[in-house]
Chains A and B, each alone.
Chain A
Amino acid sequence: MTKRLAKSISLFLALFMVLSLLAGCGASKKTEVETTTKAEATTTAAVTTEEDKIKWSGKITVAPYMFGPLDEGNNVIKPLLQEGLLKYGYDVDLVNVYIENSDYENLLNVRIAANDAPDVFEPKSTSTMRKYYDQGSIASWDKAFYEKNCPTINAFINNGCVDGRLKNYVDMFWDFALIDGKMVTIPKVAEAGTMLPKVMLLRGDWLKNLGVTDLPYTLDDFITLMYKFRNDDPDKNGKKDTYGFSTSAIRAIFGAFYGYTSFPDPKAENSIYFYDLDGKIVCGDVMATNKEALAILQKCYKDGIIDPEFVAQLGENTGGYWALSQPFINGRIGASCHAGIDHYRLPEVTGVDGPCAKEYFAVNKNYDFVYAPWPKGPKGNYGGWSLGPACGIGENAVYNAALNKDTDKLAAILNIMDIFAKDDELALLGASGIKGTHFDYTGTSDKPGIKALMDNEKLNAAGVAAYRGIIGGPSPYNDNLIRLTYYNSPSIANMFKIQAQEGYKGGYNRDVYDTTASVSTYKQELIAYRDETFIKIIKGELSVDAYDAYVTEYLKRGGKILTDEAQAWFDERK
C-alpha cells in the first residue's frame, strides 16, 4: 500500500470517528417528531372512530409485577382480552413490557430516563410515586376527567368497595391518589389491617414440654413464659441453648406500651410513624412510653432472654424467603411475630400449606406451632406492627407523562380499566386465566373461590395477570373478582377467624399515612440514629435514662421538622 493511500485511509477513518461522535445528536428530534405525528394520528383516529363504532385504537404498553416473563408464543390470554375489549369499541394491542421485579425500580428508572417508559407501570411506593410526579415522569389529571371515564370504579371506591367494608377508608384512598390536587393514580384499595397481618406464634412443643396450657394474654405472663423458654430447657436436650424471643417480638413489647415505633423492622416498612395523641401528633420513635418498653427489654437482655443475635438477624430472617424466621423454625427462640397469619396457614384448614408452615414442618416433623394473642400492657395496649392503609404499598398503576399530551389515549386506558371493573368475565380472564387450564373453582356455590392450577411463573408466562396495571392491580375494582380471589378464599377466611379472637388482631393504625415532603431527606439518618440508640440501651451500653437525651437529639436532627409537617397534614384533614 503506498504512503499516500495509507494516509488517505487513516484520514478517512479519523473523519469517520469524529462524525460518529456527532451521530447521536440528530436522532432525538426525529423521534420527537415521530412521536408527535403518532399522537396526532391517534387523536385523529379517535375523533373519527365513533362512526366506525371503534372508540379508540392503538397500542398500550403495560409493565406490571411479574413472576416471570411472558411467553409470547403461548400467550393465550392476550387475544381473548383484546377480543373482549373490541366488543366495547376498543381495538387495542396490549403489550406486556417485562421488567424483572427484583430490580424493577432501577430498570424502570433507566427506561424513564431514556424516554422509553411503558404507558402503565408501578411506582412501588408512595414516596417513589411522589418522586416521579416531582420529576414530571407520570401523568396527572383532574378528578372530573377520572369520574367521566371511570364511573364504575368511582362508584365502587366511594361506596366503600365490596359490601361497603372499606367505607371508613375512602378518604384515605383518595389521599393516596392525589398530589397537589391532581390525580396521579387510581387508588389501590385493600382491606387495611388484613394485608399480611402478623401473628404471634409460640412453639407448641416447648409449651407441651413445660406443661404450659394457658396462653399468655398479659405482658407479665408473656415475659414469665419467655423466662421459662430460656431457663427451663424447653426442648429437653439438657443444654441451655434456647431463648425467649428475638427481633420480631421486641415490637410486641413496644406495642404493649403504646410505643408504636417501627423498630426493629429492617423490611421495606421501616419508616417513621406518627400518631394522634389528643389532637397532637407525636412521632412513634420518641413516644414517652418507649422508655418503659426499653427498660423491660434491657432487663430481658441482661437475663439472657433475648437472643443475642437479634441485632444481626434481619427481623429473624437469615436468608431465603423473607417471611421465614430461621431461629424460630430451628428451635432457637420460642416466640416470633415475624410473619403473617397466611404464611403459617395449615393445610387441613385452607387446603394448602403456608410457605412458612411448610418449612416449619419440614424441620420439626412432629411438632407444631401455636397462634397466640398479643401481650397486653398495663393500660391494655397491644400490637406488634403497623396496620397502615394497604393502598400505600405501590402496586397501583401510574401512567407515562407522555399521556398528558395524549389525553385520548389516557381516557381510553381509564375507560378500559372501567370495563374490567364491570365485566366479570373479562376481569376473571385477565386476572386468573381460563377455567380448567389456569384455575378452577373451589368452595361452595354460595361462596365460590378459585384455586390456581399452576405456579405464578407459569401463569405469567401464559399471559395471566400480565396486564395487571389496567385490570386493576392485585386489588382489582371488580366486585365479583375480589370475592372469588379474596373474601371467599379459605385462607382469608382462616385469617379473619384467627383475628376475630380476643387479643389476636394486634396492630395499630398510623394517623398520618402519607409521605410528607421532608421524609426522604431525614428518614435514613433518623432511623439509623434510633436503631443505634435503642440497641445500645437494650444491650445495656446506655442506661434507660439516656432515652431522654435521645429524644432531644432526634428532634434536633430533623424529627421536629417531620413532626411539624405531619401535624400540618393531619390538621388539613380534621
Chain B
Amino acid sequence: MLKNKFTIFDVICYVFLGLLSLTILLPFIHLLTLSFSPSYVATTPGLHLIPNPADITFDNYAKVFTSKFIWIGYKNTLIRTVFGTAIQLLFTAFGAYVLSKKFFPHRTFWTFIIVFTMFFGGGLIPTYILVKQLDLINRYAALILPNLISAFNLVIMRNFFSSLPEDYEESCMIDGAGRFTIFFKIIVPLSTPIIATVGLWLVVGHWNAWFDVLLYIQNDIKFTLQIVLRRIILSGTQQLIDMTTAGTFYEETNSSVEGLKAASIYVATIPILCSYPFVQRFFVKGIMIGSLKG
C-alpha cells in the first residue's frame, strides 16, 4: 500500500496556490470594503481590507438599489440571458448535430464555411446595417439573433457529438425513432456536460454584454443590468460635469464614486458567483471536451 508522503513539492504547490488565491481574493475583499465605505475612506489611497466598524455605510448599495432602473435592468438581463441562452443552445446543438453526421452531404465544405466566419467577419457597421434593415432596433431580438450561433461553440459541440457512439442512434432507428426523437431523447441527455459548458459560456456572455445594448437599444425600459450599472457609475461623475447649468441639483448622500463602482460590481457579479458552484462540475468536466477527436 502506498503511503501519502508530504513532500517539499507539495509545500511549494500549496504556497504557490495560496499566493495565487490571495492575488484573486484580495481585490475582491478590497472592493467589498470599498462598497461599504464612505467617501472619505474610499478616496484615501491604499488597500482597504478590514473596514472600521464606525465607517461602515450602506449608502453605496442604497444608491444602487434605489435606482429605479436596477430592477428593470435585472429583469431585462434575466430575459435576455434565459431566452438568449436557450435559443442559442438549441440552434447551436441542431447545427452541431447535423455537422457531426458523416453522411451529411458536403460536410467538410459547410464546416469550412462556418469556421471561416470565426476569422473573418463583416464588422460592426455591416452588422448594424443588417440589424436595422431587419427592423430589430430597440427589440430584444437584436441582442439575441445577430450572435445566434457562435462558430466556436458549434465546433466544440460538433466534436462532442462526433464522439458519441452511433450504436445508440442505430438501435433507436431500428425501433422506429425519428431524427428529432433521437436528438432530444438520446443525444441531449448524453451531452449534458457539453451543453452545460456551452450554456455557462453563453450565460456569462449574455450577463456581461453591454455594447450591443448601447448600440441597438434606445428605450431605457429595455436596458440591461450592465448598462444601468454603467450609468450609475457614470452618473455619479457626469451629473457634476455640466458646469454651464446653474444651480445643479446635488443629492446629499455619503456615497462616493469609488464606493459606487465597488457596490455596482458586486451587484452585477453576485448572481453569477452564486450560480457557478452548481455548474462547476460540468465546467471542469467539459473544459477539455473540445479536444476530443472529431
Contact = CB atoms under 8 A, between A and B. Distances in A.
Contacts of B280: none
Contact of B125 (A113, A352, A365): A113
Contact of A7 (B105, B218, B236): B105
B129 interface: yes
A115 B130 CA distance: 12
A456 to B, nearest CB: 5
Interface stretch (B9-17, B159-167, B195-203, B249-257): B249-257
Contacts of A456: 238-239, 242, 245, 248-249
Contacts of B242: 67, 456, 474
Contacts of A321: 236-237, 240-241, 257
Given A107-B215, A489-B247, A114 B125 contact: yes
B244 A486 contact: yes
A35 interface: no
B285 interface: no
B247 A474 contact: no
A491 B104 CA distance: 75
Contacts of B85: none
Contacts of A490: 246-247
Nearest to B131: A114
Contact of B249 (A363, A453, A475): A453
Interface residues of A, number: 72
A13 to B, nearest CB: 10
Most buried by A among B40, B242, B247: B247
B239 A450 contact: no
Contact of A352 (B129, B241, B248): B248
Contacts of B223: 69
Contact of B250 (A319, A340, A352, A442): A352
B247 A449 contact: yes
Interface stretch (A97-105, A528-536, A549-557): A97-105
A461 B257 contact: no
A24 B235 contact: no
A462 B39 CA distance: 30
Contacts of B231: 68, 457
A362 interface: yes
B131 to A, nearest CB: 9
Interface string B33-46: 00000111001110
A115 B128 CA distance: 10
B219 A24 contact: no
A363 B130 contact: no
A367 interface: no
B235 A326 contact: no
Interface stretch (A119-127, A259-267, A353-361): A353-361
A195 B243 CA distance: 8
A359 B250 CA distance: 12
B234 interface: yes
A235 B294 CA distance: 70
Given A7-B105, A114-B128, A319 B258 contact: yes
A362 B248 contact: no
A457 B239 contact: yes
Most buried by B among A101, A102, A353: A102
A485 B239 contact: no
A489 to B, nearest CB: 3
B43 A330 contact: yes
A568 interface: no
A44 interface: no
Contacts of B247: 351-352, 442, 449-452, 489-491
Contact of B133 (A27, A97, A318, A319): A27
A474 B244 contact: yes
A110 B124 contact: yes
Interface in B201-232: 214-215, 218-220, 223, 230-231
B128 A359 contact: no
Given A100-B214, A451-B247, A68 B235 contact: yes
Interface string A260-304: 000000000000000000000000000000000000000000000
Interface in A190-227: 190, 195-196
A455 B249 contact: yes
A320 B235 contact: no
A110 B128 contact: yes
A307 interface: no
A489 B275 CA distance: 53
Interface in A434-486: 442, 449-457, 461, 474-475, 484-486
Interface string A314-349: 000011111110100110000000001011000000
A170 interface: no
B246 A455 contact: no
B213 to A, nearest CB: 10
Interface string A86-107: 0000000000011011110001
Given A10-B105, A114-B129, A457-B235, A107 B214 contact: yes
5 contacts: A116-B128, A116-B132, A358-B250, A455-B250, A486-B246
Given A485-B245, A486-B244, 6 more contacts: A14-B106, A114-B128, A320-B257, A359-B43, A450-B246, A456-B239
Interface of A: 1, 7, 10, 14, 24, 27, 31, 67-72, 97-98, 100-103, 107, 110-111, 113-116, 190, 195-196, 318-324, 326, 329-330, 340, 342-343, 351-353, 355, 358-359, 362-363, 365, 442, 449-457, 461, 474-475, 484-486, 488-492
Which 10 pairs from chain A and chain B are nearest by CB?
A489-B246, A451-B247, A320-B257, A355-B240, A321-B237, A362-B39, A69-B220, A113-B125, A363-B40, A114-B129
